[in-house]
Chains A and B, each alone.
Chain A
């Protein structure tokens, strides 16, 4: 469990920090413009603040591009510009749009100023755009970090719980399970005892991951604890039940140790723990994703953290997770009981 917890923390730490600096910075250089002319361009380019432009020597710019230290550089001259891209990045379209907008505006204003030299032609912002989003997340970055944190935590918790359930199958094979069945302990107690352990391990792992990562990366997870707890507990219930189902299907511990990584990684991929499910457009994959507990767990948790949705409105994901848990558990226990009966 400690190993998986450490892995979860390392993954989130690396992924969260890679994307932690979303500000786009583009070096700008010119071969013929004077320093003051270049500065004028810099002021115009930096006006709206979405992309940061900084002046740089032409040789250094080209060198940095060649050495892959910078992915984009802007070459400005009096009447034209050139956007040099070392390789395609996701920032390129945004930078390209911004630069082309600025240059079109400036060239149009220049042309009109030449046409009407006596008039004072200034760009005036008649309409300002105010963008708001209905979800109350504090910006894109926090949203991504929260997503990575939730996705990775749930994935590694699922992995830990399923991996630990290997013990059950070993007990079954070594005969300890049958001895327990013959002992005065009731079957319900045997099952509840075992399952409560896996459930608690999952709870501890989720709580520890959230606590450590929240403080390590300073991610704001809000205070919607009832909803988060509700989703986490129902998710764990469905995972523990999934484990029972796998134990019922799989005959030996060695095969289970093969099945667990396939199932947990596959479900995490399908359920949107590694990337946001919005990116996927394949309808079949989207349908499959709805069949995994991961999808509902991640969705419910994101909804609880990002939108502060109260637990009463999260009944749908929680209900689906509980239902999955009951179905998996029902089939799993049934399958587990069969060989036990045969050996009797």
Chain B
């Protein structure tokens, strides 16, 4: 009996104190609302990513690299028809061109959009202005090195620069993941094509042979 009186007294005291009631009612309500609105999409699996832009250095760059490759071929004293063949092959195996095709694919159009830039400087400036989340570029000679490795069997390493604004950001992770899958596939298919002189057919529909439980 005394216990119920005590309970009743405590309830009455609380109901008289406006501040406690306010805290009890509003604090969780406001915090849950903010939490729900800001993190709701992450927590409840309905994660929508805002479409972001990715910069690619323009075609002119490819033409310059092709000219450089031509100069190298001339230096190595290749005949005119051979040179022509190599140059057309070089253009057809340009990884950046293929990468752009992958990035512009229908399946990625809701996630990322490709913007073209004249040079690295303008892409950098666009990234600083938050217009693009990152850009892809071959550093000087890198593309020529790649052609020389693949076509002329020389050993010169090629590097593709993936420059992102903020490492660890969602957009950076997506871009890195798409590019790394593409490059790994490109390296694999190129290795096979070169080792088999192009006799092995490209496997278009590669599916993983595993499952996730």
Contact = CB atoms under 8 A, between A and B. Distances in A.
Interface in B148-189: 149-150, 157-170, 172, 176-177, 179-181, 183-184, 186-188
A174 interface: no
Contact of B186 (A107, A126, A139): A126
B44 to A, nearest CB: 13
B200 A116 contact: yes
B65 to A, nearest CB: 14
Given A83-B212, A100-B208, A130 B187 contact: no
B79 interface: no
Interface of A: 79-85, 92, 96-97, 99-101, 103-105, 107-109, 111-112, 115-116, 119-135, 137, 139-140, 143-144, 252, 254-255, 257-258, 261-262, 265-266, 269-270, 275, 278-282, 284-285
B196 A116 contact: yes
Given A133-B166, A137-B167, A282-B37, A108 B210 contact: no
A120 to B, nearest CB: 7
Contacts of A269: 31, 34-35, 38
A281 B176 CA distance: 21
Interface residues of B, number: 69
A258 B39 contact: no
B80 interface: no
10 contacts: A83-B212, A101-B184, A112-B200, A130-B162, A131-B164, A133-B164, A134-B164, A135-B166, A258-B27, A285-B37
A258 B22 contact: yes
B114 to A, nearest CB: 18
A130 B17 contact: no
A255 B213 contact: no
Contacts of B23: 258, 261-262
Nearest to A94: B177
B64 to A, nearest CB: 19
A257 B31 contact: no
B159 A130 contact: yes
A260 to B, nearest CB: 10
A104 B203 CA distance: 11
A280 B38 contact: yes
A246 B212 CA distance: 54
A127 B95 contact: yes
Contacts of B180: 129
Contact of A121 (B19, B179, B195): B195
A115 B200 contact: yes
B63 interface: no
B195 A285 contact: no
B176 A127 contact: no
